[in-house]
């Protein structure tokens, strides 16, 4: 005989702060135990003992936990309270407004996103970046970021499409800043100040942010603050000095583009190293990285068709 658990995660909006549980004593196979828990779900939902968690969690954090295969650790308090063994049999159900909300069922191992897409009827098939970049040594985040960002940055740079390449590099910093801090004001400069050594180039994160605002939005270097004269106008050149700035007669200060690519690459190494082994940071990374789009992660539909003129540019 062993204890098996019907667990209920009570969500208010996007947050779960309470877990309900009913413990059954059962002897039989895992399949039989699962059938029993399903059969008792409605009754157990009514009679479940509720436990307020010391630490609430969001739905995104739960999904990230499922992606890593350890989502159930978010409510380990239940198992500690009831004296469960190291691998308790459980059925976990999300609850909102007193009713179960279920659109997919899985085991407690890492979430199989291909299976999720198939069962939920997603259009096309897309590689799961987390599975693709998982190796015997862990998750290869440097290679992931290289493939998703720097392949295109280097391709456009080497093709002498320097403005396009710079836009991609600045967008990369935008993405990494969002992953680190979320959608908050100042995250671009905050990420650079924390991990990048811009002194080599003779510029500041504030100046680069204003250049970014001009280039990304208007393809010029005249942001509003630059026009008002509160921030120095900077731009970039491929023939500018490797260190420091080159001043043009019109008052624009140029830094070396290739130097910035190297500075950002070094910053990424520092950023990832600073969070090595931090499970909570990695859960946040997964949640926010799942929102990104990339040339290396495209959905392939089940119907293949020949390339048409609409698929290419003249």
Token code pair at residue 295:
């040339």
Whole-angstrom Cα distance, residue 50 to residue 35? 23
Structure confidence by residue, pLDDT tens digits, 272-293: 999 998 999 999 999 999 888 8
Q: What is the pLDDT of residue 300?
A: 47
Structure confidence by residue, pLDDT tens digits, 142-192: 999 999 999 999 999 999 999 999 999 999 999 999 999 999 999 999 999
Q: What is the pLDDT of residue 301?
A: 46
Q: What is the pLDDT of residue 84?
A: 84
Among 50, 66, 55, smallest CA distance to 110 is for 66
Whole-angstrom Cα distance, residue 164 to residue 19? 50
Q: What is the pLDDT of residue 256?
A: 93
If one compares 305 and 291, the residue with the highest pLDDT of the two is 291
Q: How confident is the model at residue 299 (pLDDT cuts 50, 70, 90)?
A: very low
Q: Comparing 123-137, 208-222, 244-258, 275-289, which segment has the lowest mean pLDDT?
A: 123-137
Q: What is the pLDDT of residue 262?
A: 96
With a cut of 90, say whether residue 197 has pLDDT above it.
yes
Token code pair at residue 297:
């992660």
Contacts of 256 (CB under 8 A, 6+ apart): 201, 236, 237, 238, 240, 241, 242, 243
Furthest C-alpha separation in the chain: 85
How much is the average pLDDT of 82-87? 82
- Please, what is the average pLDDT of the chain? 85
Q: How confident is the model at residue 101 (pLDDT cuts 50, 70, 90)?
A: confident
Among 211, 205, 207, 232, smallest CA distance to 223 is for 211
Whole-angstrom Cα distance, residue 240 to residue 310? 39
Contacts of 3 (CB under 8 A, 6+ apart): 23, 24, 25, 26, 82, 84, 85, 88
If one compares 28 and 207, the residue with the highest pLDDT of the two is 207
**Could you please report the per-residue DSSP string of 71-88?**
GGGGGHHHHHHHT--SS-
If one compares 66 and 10, the residue with the highest pLDDT of the two is 10
Contacts of 59 (CB under 8 A, 6+ apart): 11, 14, 15, 16, 94
Structure confidence by residue, pLDDT tens digits, 102-154: 654 555 555 555 555 554 444 555 567 788 888 877 889 999 999 999 999 99
Q: What is the pLDDT of residue 126?
A: 59
With a cut of 70, say whether residue 60 has pLDDT above it.
yes
Whole-angstrom Cα distance, residue 34 to residue 29? 9
Q: How confident is the model at residue 20 (pLDDT cuts 50, 70, 90)?
A: very high
Q: What is the pLDDT of residue 243?
A: 72
With a cut of 60, say whether residue 48 has pLDDT above it.
yes
CA dihedral (81, 84, 88, 91) positive or negative: negative
Kind and range of the H or E run holding 183: none
């Amino acid at each position: 005989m062993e204890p098996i658990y019907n667990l209920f995660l009570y969500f208010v909006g996007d947050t779960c702060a309470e877990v309900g549980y009913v413990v059954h004593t059962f002897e039989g196979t895992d399949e039989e135990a699962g059938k029993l828990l399903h059969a008792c779900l409605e009754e157990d939902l009514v009679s479940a003992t509720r436990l307020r968690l010391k630490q609430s969690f969001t739905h995104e954090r739960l999904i990230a936990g499922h992606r890593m295969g350890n989502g159930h650790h978010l409510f380990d308090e239940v198992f500690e309270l009831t004296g469960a063994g190291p691998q308790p049999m459980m059925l976990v159900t999300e609850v909102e407004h007193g009713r179960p909300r279920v659109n997919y069922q899985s085991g407690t191992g890492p979430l199989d996103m291909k299976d999720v897409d198939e069962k939920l009827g997603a259009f096309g098939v897309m590689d799961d970046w987390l599975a693709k970049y998982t190796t015997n040594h862990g998750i290869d985040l440097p290679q992931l970021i290289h493939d998703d960002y720097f392949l295109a940055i280097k391709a456009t740079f080497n093709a002498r499409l320097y403005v396009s390449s710079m836009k991609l590099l600045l967008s990369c910093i935008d993405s990494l800043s969002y992953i680190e801090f979320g959608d908050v004001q100042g995250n671009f400069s905050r990420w650079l100040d924390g991990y990048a050594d811009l002194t080599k180039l003779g510029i500041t994160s504030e100046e680069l942010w204003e250049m970014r605002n001009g280039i990304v939005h208007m393809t010029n270097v005249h942001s509003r603050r630059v026009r008002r004269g509160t921030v120095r106008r900077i731009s970039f050149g491929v023939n500018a000095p490797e260190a420091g700035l080159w001043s043009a007669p019109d008052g624009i200060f140029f830094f070396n583009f290739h130097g910035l690519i190297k500075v950002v690459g070094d910053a990424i190494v520092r950023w990832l190293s600073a969070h090595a082994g931090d499970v909570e940071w990695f859960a946040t990374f997964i949640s926010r990285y799942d929102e990104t789009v990339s040339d290396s992660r495209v959905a392939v539909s089940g119907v293949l068709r020949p390339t048409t003129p609409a698929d290419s540019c003249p």
